[in-house]
Amino acid sequence: MSRLPRPRRLRLAGAAAACMLALAACGTLTTDRAGTQDDKRLPTQPPLTTTAEDWQDVAAVLGRTGTLSDHSVYRIPLPRTDLTVTSHHVVVSPGLALTGSASFARYHDGTMLMGDLVITERELPEVTDALQKAGIAQTALHKHLLAQHPAVWWTHIHAMGNPVTLAKGVKAALDTTGIPPASPPPASQRPLALDTADIDAALGTKGTADGGIYRFIFARTQPVTDGRHILPHTLGIATAIGFQPLGDNRAAINGDFVLTADETQNVIRALRSGGIDLVELHNHGQDEQPRLFYLHFWATGDGVTLASALRPALDRTAVAPAS
């Protein structure tokens, strides 16, 4: 085997070193899940601005109308109004803990689907098969309620692609469940049997009455990305708290805190100090930055007392009321 003369070898080594330095200066090239080269130093992209009309093909496929938030995220709710679920002798309202969703956001490289489906144990295998056949990833599977009957599960979903194709995949999964067709919202909201003014004062912001539930949403104060896309809180990346009236200003509370790892134990201690039960601690996604965990909770009692017990846990997280 012939060898290059020593000066030639030195020149090649120097050229290789220079090339490596140039690559380092330009950012490391890696391969993403689709097998394409992705420059990690490219800036993350926010979702593109859209209108409700841009999502009419998606709504038509799913047979349901959604709502557009921040001119970017189109969310279609998927409530289990067909089920009667109890937890600790409370008949759980679909609006408190039995509503999934499919949310769509358009980015520079395609449309993102994120959401979750509320399904029974009997439905789970066929839902899984339908999602996998459609190329929609399941990023989490867990429960949101304690001592529930019948047992229901939440499966979180994620995909990138053509919005109509994604909607068809979700529809195929829905068709294996008892999730009913969309129904029109009630013409008027019944007054909530809760001291909402004092609940607002305890939590430091005003809640929203929605479908018989008094609801609060808190967004992370720092950006959340998946490395390439900025993920707004309207994709479900938020702390959600719901109060279901039980009469005489009493409520059942359920929801989840979105947390970084270093916040988790402080929030657990704060919730337990207030007598609030833990349900689940888990992920919803698989590649968000910073890494996020979701802590679900449950309690019943006086609504204002429960709100006061939640406040110390909120104060231990980097969140702010969502507009």
| Res. 299: pLDDT tops 60 | yes
Tokens 């295998």 sit on residue: 125
Q: How many residues would you count in the chain?
A: 323
Tokens 């380092």 sit on residue: 24
pLDDT of 9 reads 40
Domains and CATH numbers, the chain: 26-184 (no CATH), 187-323 (3.30.1460)
pLDDT-based confidence at residue 27 (cuts at 50, 70, 90)? very low
21-35, 87-101, 130-144: least confident range: 21-35
pLDDT of 190 reads 78
Q: How many helices (H) and strands (E) does the chain have?
A: 8, 18
**Residue 107 · residue 47 · CB < 8 Å:** yes
Distance CA 207, CA 15 (A): 63
Q: Which of 318, 164, 322 is nearest to 241 (CA)?
A: 322
pLDDT-based confidence at residue 212 (cuts at 50, 70, 90)? very high
Considering the entire predicted model, what is its pTM? Answer: 0.85
Distance CA 281, CA 131 (A): 24
- Give residue-wise pLDDT tens across range 64-74: 999 999 999 99
User: Can you tell me the mean pLDDT for 53-69?
Assistant: 97
DSSP codes joined into one string, 204-246: TS--EEETTEEEEEEEESS--BSSSBB--GGGT-EEEEEEEEE
- Give residue-wise pLDDT tens across range 148-191: 999 999 999 999 999 999 999 999 999 999 999 988 776 667 78
Distance CA 157, CA 136 (A): 7
Q: Which of 145, 95, 105 is nearest to 277 (CA)?
A: 145
pLDDT of 29 reads 28
How far is C-alpha 158 from the geometric centre of its chain's CA atoms?
10
| Res. 5: pLDDT tops 60 | no
Q: What is the mean pLDDT of the chain?
A: 89
pLDDT of 42 reads 61
Burial pattern 70-92, b for ≥16 Cβ within 10 A else e, equals eebbbbbbbbbbebebebeebeb
Distance CA 173, CA 167 (A): 10
| Res. 22: pLDDT tops 90 | no
pLDDT of 183 reads 81
Q: Which of 121, 117, 166 is nearest to 138 (CA)?
A: 117
| Res. 44: pLDDT tops 70 | yes
Helix (H) or strand (E) holding 67: strand 67-69
